[in-house]
């Protein structure tokens, strides 16, 4: 997937849903844990050297698996390459749970499923489609039939 570097840098400067200094180890063999400022912005996880303003890298949180590795650590792996894991070490088990929850909610697919669920709940309660006023109620991406089990 291609990205515009300037747009990614601009996105990395946006307010974060969650940000903290975490231990991070990349997927390369022999990689060591390094302290990184980690920022969750929309569905991107940016990581920075603790003394720099520009991100070292970014992970697009789509088609990924978030797994607890130890009480205060988790990993991110991607479905197309499950052996390629990024490991993160938090300060506490509570912080780890907070990060894992936020990362799982960050994907487009999670947001889409939530929108469809709440759309249907509102429609049951009011008898009206809440997306109709925006002119997008018929779009395929907002249809329940498009969901995979």
- Would you list the domain boundaries of the chain? 5-106, 111-140
Q: What pLDDT band is residue 148 in, cutting at 50, 70 and 90?
A: very low
Euclidean distance between CA atoms 56 and 46, whole angstroms? 8
3-class secondary-structure state, position 22: strand
Fold of 5-106: PH-domain like (2.30.29)
Euclidean distance between CA atoms 37 and 104, whole angstroms? 19
Average pLDDT of the residues in 114-133: 88
* pTM metric for this prediction: 0.78
Helix or strand run (H / E) with residue 84? strand 81-89
Express as a percent the part of the chain with pLDDT over 90. 58
* Residue-wise pLDDT tens digits, 33-76: 999 999 999 999 999 999 999 999 999 999 999 999 999 999 99
Average pLDDT of the residues in 5-30: 91
């Amino acid at each position: 997937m291609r990205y515009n570097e300037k747009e990614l840098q601009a996105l990395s400067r946006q307010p974060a849903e969650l940000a903290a200094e975490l231990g991070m180890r990349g997927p390369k063999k022999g990689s060591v844990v390094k302290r990184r400022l980690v920022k969750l912005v929309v569905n991107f996880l940016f990581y920075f050297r603790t003394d720099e303003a520009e991100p070292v890298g970014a992970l697009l949180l789509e088609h990924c698996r978030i797994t607890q590795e130890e009480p205060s650590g988790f990993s991110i792996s991607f479905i197309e390459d499950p052996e390629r894991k990024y490991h993160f070490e938090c300060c506490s088990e509570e912080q780890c749970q907070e990060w894992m929850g936020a990362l799982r909610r960050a994907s487009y697919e999670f947001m889409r499923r939530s929108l469809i669920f709440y759309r249907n709940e509102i429609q049951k309660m009011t008898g009206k489609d809440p997306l109709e006023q925006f002119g997008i109620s018929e779009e395929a991406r907002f249809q329940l039939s498009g969901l995979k089990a």
